[in-house]
Chains A and B, each alone.
Chain A
Amino acid sequence: MANSTAAPNALPDLKIADRTFASRLILGTGGAANHVQLAEAITASGTQLITVALRRVDPGAGGSILDVIEECGVDLLPNTAGCFTAEQAVRTARLAREAFGTDWVKLEVIGDEDTLLPDPVELLDAAETLVAEGFTVLPYTSDDPVLARRLEDAGCAAVMPLAAPIGTGLGVRNPHNLALICDHARVPVICDAGIGTASDAALAMELGCSAVLLATAVTRAADPALMAAAMRDAVKAGHAARLAGRIPKRHLAKASSAFEGMADL
């Protein structure tokens, strides 16, 4: 048997910069109805890394998401969501580093409010600045292989192409582009945004992504904890299928039962 060790079929860990993760699912926290539901989803997902946004303190807020993070024993990845310019995003990243003591940042610089698509010019500008300042930069990017390469060349620790626009749940709209990015990247490719259901996450992994980042698909599902568990399994299944090596697609059928030895009936 090929696998006779203590952990048969164990999947390799995810390495980003200097950190290692057993889970390849990163969970965004936006859209959760409350902190109890969020904690249940985080636990069910098996994630080790969750994203948060940086906003003005709300004097009326009941409890902090930092308590949820501590309770669940996961790490925090601050984002620059809502930023439209490189300057805004860089300032937000610096504030996040001050607030949370981490130099990891999910860099998000969007072009407009309708599509929430990344602004590639501002994104690359911000990435270069933050890398120079010692940040570990994980940029949310469009599914453009050239831009992904430029971000990687700029020193980003991963690239995070979208499957579809944020919150749409449309799944992987351009599997060919995503596969091209995965085939050429020398840093982890994390599919970020647009995942709607478990098969979307599995497909992203089958195309060669190193991890999947999703929020809405879980937080706004009818049963967030159950969907979180489905995503956990889908990411694992997609990763395993990728490593296992799928069969080539064929135009015509190929019998799996031999014709040889057929009875003359």
Chain B
Amino acid sequence: MNIHVNGEAREGVATITEAVAAVTEARRGIAVALNGEVVPRSEWDRPLSDGDAVEVLTATQGG
């Protein structure tokens, strides 16, 4: 299955929870977009489909 997490192809990632775990251990201050739309944390167990793009985002310095 072809899944991209933060722009990189990832193997063995079946859910959003697994996609988050692939890039960070943090859970505080994290938000996830699946194909551009926000996915609430309560729905992170949602299975991913081939071609899905997951963005895992957090706070950084910015004006």
Interface residues of A (CB under 8 A from B): 28-32, 38, 51-59, 64-66, 69, 76, 78-79, 81, 91, 94-96, 98-100, 166-167, 193, 213, 215-216
Contacts and interface: CB of A to CB of B under 8 A. Distances in A.
The 8 A-B residue pairs whose C-beta atoms are closest, nearest first, are A53-B62, A28-B63, A99-B31, A215-B63, A30-B63, A98-B31, A52-B59, A95-B31
B59 A54 contact: yes
A249 B3 CA distance: 67
Contacts of B57: 54-57, 95, 99
Interface string B13-29: 00000000001101011
A193 B60 CA distance: 18
Given A94-B38, A95-B57, A100-B29, A57 B24 contact: yes
A200 B5 CA distance: 43
23 contacts: A30-B62, A30-B63, A32-B61, A53-B62, A54-B57, A54-B58, A54-B60, A55-B57, A55-B58, A56-B23, A56-B58, A64-B26, A64-B29, A64-B58, A65-B60, A66-B29, A69-B59, A78-B59, A81-B63, A91-B38, A98-B31, A98-B38, A98-B41
B40 interface: yes
Contacts of A65: 59-61
Contacts of A213: 63
Given A53-B61, A99-B31, 11 more contacts: A29-B62, A54-B57, A54-B58, A55-B62, A56-B23, A64-B26, A66-B29, A91-B38, A167-B63, A193-B63, A213-B63
Contacts of B37: 91
A20 to B, nearest CB: 23
Given A91-B37, A95-B38, A99-B30, A51 B62 contact: yes
A96 B28 CA distance: 12
Contacts of B62: 28-30, 51-53, 55, 79, 81, 215
Contacts of A78: 59
